Amino acid sequence: MARSFLLWLFIVFSSWSAFAQQLVFSTQVGGEKMGIKDQLQVDYVLQNAQQIESLSPPNYTDFNIVGGPYQSSQSNIQMMGNRMVESKTITISYVLQPKHSGTCTVLGAIAKDAANHTYVSNAVSVQVVNGSLAQQRSSSRDPFGDDDQDPWAMMRQQMQQMQQLFSGRGRQQAPPSNQSAEEIKAPADLNKDVFIKVSVDKSSAYVGEQITTSYKLYTRLPMQMSISKLPSLNGFWTQDFELPKEMKPTEEIINGKKYQVFLLKKSALFPQQVGKLQLDPAEAKGLVRVVQKTKRANPFADDPFFSQFGSLFMGDPFFDNDLFSGMAYKDIPVTIASAPVSINVKEVPNTKKPISYTGAVGKFQFDVQLDKLSCSTDDALKLKLLIRGSGNLKLIEAPVFDLPKGLEKYDPVVIDSITGRTTAIEGFKEFEYALLPTAPGDYEIAPITFSYFNPATQQYESIVSQPIHLHVVLGKQLPTNKKVKLSQFHNYNRSINAQNPFYAFDHVWYWMIMLLVGLFLLIQLTKHKWQKMWSAWIDKRNNRSNRVALKRMKKAQVFLDQKQIELFYEEVSKAIWLYLSDKLTIDLASLSKEAALEKLAARQLEQKIIDNVTAVINDCEMALYAPSIAEHKMQQTYQDTIAIITHIENSKK
């Protein structure tokens, strides 16, 4: 019993640091000494982190990152002795490998929270030696602490020293107790020692009726557990009760066994639908420490002294007590879950249901208040309907009531608030209507009825307010004190379609029409200018054609003097055709004798000139095939060509 108490104390003190509720940001490394070939796990641990937005790792100068970042977060509800502490921990882990031997520094990381506060974790120095220390460290370690500080390890060591002292043969060292010990007791059936139980105050309820449910953890063993899954509670509107942050466990005796009981969650459930609803199981994961007795060999069995007097001592119960049998502990990972619970939900009775019933279930008080009993038509009034009590407050709809003509009512502002969460969900719901008197006179706001279903009496109960008398005088008919003339709030528009209005600039065809019309206008407005430019260009071309033709004719005269028939006619032919093309504005591609004669005729030139043109063209063509025949016509052709050009130039003027 004394050892169990010591073990319990040890667990409590080893995890004492988890009690802190302020944000703690620390760097934790796998060890202070490592080999250069080993890998080091670094954990940046944020305890009680609520609103951390970012975490930046440092630039490691002494290490290479070989893994990570790995993120894990955990909400812990830890049972430490007789206290329960809830904390949230975020861990960012990296796996590092040292770049060199010697003293290497694991730098601290930087975290920022929503308020832009910066937190820096501590830096840790690690001694790096050559080789690998991983194998040396691979021996199993107590997950709860260091062996050097383990009271049980110290006790084992003392027992080994005693064995060596009293042993006759025994200079050889006894093997570690955990390995040599024979298990004398198997681990207990953990499901009976640690479990979660859901308790509900009623298994059958009306829609909207409060059901109080508690999730409790029962344990008879030291443990370190965290809630891994909370029930989703579908089909219910839930409101959690407030639990103290540090809660002392209670004790319960079940089947003659004493359990420590931790209350994990206590909620008020308000079913929203009829039928059989099920509460999901809650789950918790963690380690349970199981104490085991180990039997050791009798240290005095081989001693000659005890062999002589052995029969005398060995029968003594002293040698059978715990001093000569070891105590070992084992941490067993466990996952426990509560059993699902079914609740039968019934519809509220339809018989005697009041017309004013709007879904309230519970026990309520009802009050109606008007902020002014006398006002002018310029004033606005506030009518408050206050429902106070315990029940499904959030699900209650506004009581229906009518106002006398002359008073306009706007949609209410709804405020609901939960004020009590200790034994029952209590609070209030307020419907605040803005009223506008439109005409002077005396008004009576008729009593307003609020009905609710009371599950305790299983009957509907109604509360009727007192009538309110209001005296309204004529205002100054000026704009109201809010400088706006209020109109009636209009309801939604039924004739809607998902089609944008027509915006002309969004359509290509609008731009095309604008372009066409714009071009047309531009051309029309600048038409005279264009025409002038065109005639100037034609004149320029004509002048150029005259000059070019005369130049060619000069060349032809040279060939005429030299009697070079073919070259002469070739030059005359070019001169006449190019001249006609430019002068008559005929493309070279479509230039033909017929086209040229037609254009000349259109210019109303003398027939003689036209005939001359035909003759010159024919002579030039003939000279290409029969130069000897055309030889005597060279002078005539030359003169005719000059005459044609001169005549056409004169006729233009």
Partner 1 sequence: MKFYFIIATVLNFASFSVWADNAKSTLPLQFQQAMQNKNWDFANVCIDSMLQEAPYQDQLWYNKGVVYYQQHLLAESIACFQKAILLNPFNKDAKDNLLVAQSRLVDRLPNYFDFILLRWWKLLSSPYFHTYWAFTALGLWVLIGLSMYLPKALQTKKQFRIVKNSMLFLSICFFIMAYFSWSSLKNTTVFVVQSDQAMQYATPMSKLGTKVPYGTIVSVLERTPNWYKVALPNGVETWMQQQTLTKF
- Residues lying near partner 1 in the complex (CB under 8 A) are found at 116, 380, 410-411, 413-414, 434, 482, 484-506, 509-510, 513-514, 516-518, 520-521, 523-524
Smallest separation, CB 286 to partner 1 (Å): 38
127 residue type, one letter: Q
Residue nearer to partner 1 on the CB measure, 233 or 434: 434
Smallest separation, CB 460 to partner 1 (Å): 24
Residue nearer to partner 1 on the CB measure, 314 or 486: 486
Smallest separation, CB 516 to partner 1 (Å): 4
Residue nearer to partner 1 on the CB measure, 483 or 632: 483
Task: Tell me the backbone φ, ψ of residue 354, rounded to 5 degrees.
Answer: -70, 155
484 contacts: CB under 8 Å, gap ≥ 6: none
Residue among 609, 606, 570, 601 at smallest CA distance from 584 = 601
Quickly tell me which residue has 């003339």 as its tokens.
Answer: 485
Smallest separation, CB 606 to partner 1 (Å): 36
Smallest separation, CB 492 to partner 1 (Å): 4
315 residue type, one letter: G
Residue nearer to partner 1 on the CB measure, 497 or 607: 497
Angle between helical axes of 527-561 and 508-525 (0-180°, round to 10): 60
To which H or E segment does residue 34 belong?
strand 33-35
Residue among 205, 200, 244 at smallest CA distance from 391 = 205
Smallest separation, CB 380 to partner 1 (Å): 8
3-state secondary structure of 151: helix
Smallest separation, CB 452 to partner 1 (Å): 21
* Residue 317 DSSP symbol: G
Contact in structure between 152 and 14 (CB atoms under 8 Å): no
Angle between helical axes of 607-625 and 593-602 (0-180°, round to 10): 170
Contact in structure between 222 and 330 (CB atoms under 8 Å): no
Residue nearer to partner 1 on the CB measure, 352 or 490: 490
Smallest separation, CB 517 to partner 1 (Å): 5
Residues paired with residue 335 on neighbouring β-strands, in sequence order: 285
Residue nearer to partner 1 on the CB measure, 166 or 237: 237
Residue nearer to partner 1 on the CB measure, 313 or 511: 511
Tokens, residue 35: 């080999």
Smallest separation, CB 244 to partner 1 (Å): 32
* Residue 467 DSSP symbol: P
Residue nearer to partner 1 on the CB measure, 203 or 531: 531
Q: For residue 428, how far is the Cα from the chain centroid?
A: 34
Smallest separation, CB 408 to partner 1 (Å): 10
Task: Tell me the backbone φ, ψ of residue 103, rounded to 5 degrees.
Answer: -95, 120
| DSSP annotation string for 206-230 | ETT--EEEEEEEEESS-EEEEEEE-
Smallest separation, CB 487 to partner 1 (Å): 4
Residue nearer to partner 1 on the CB measure, 252 or 411: 411
- HEC secondary structure over 337-377: ECCCEEEEEECCCCCCCCCCEEEEEEEEEEEEEECCCEEEC
Residue among 272, 217, 261 at smallest CA distance from 239 = 272
Residue nearer to partner 1 on the CB measure, 360 or 584: 360
Residue nearer to partner 1 on the CB measure, 215 or 433: 433
CA distance 648 to 643: 8
- Own/partner contacts of 51-57, CB < 8 Å, gap of 24 or more, are 51/113, 51/114, 51/115, 52/90, 52/111, 52/112, 52/113, 53/112, 53/113, 53/114, 54/111, 54/112, 55/90, 55/92, 55/109, 55/110, 55/111, 55/112, 56/109, 56/110, 56/111, 57/92, 57/94, 57/109
Smallest separation, CB 496 to partner 1 (Å): 5
Smallest separation, CB 120 to partner 1 (Å): 19
Residue nearer to partner 1 on the CB measure, 507 or 652: 507
Residue nearer to partner 1 on the CB measure, 505 or 625: 505
Residue 219, burial from CB neighbour count under 10 angstroms (0-12, 13-18, 19+) = buried
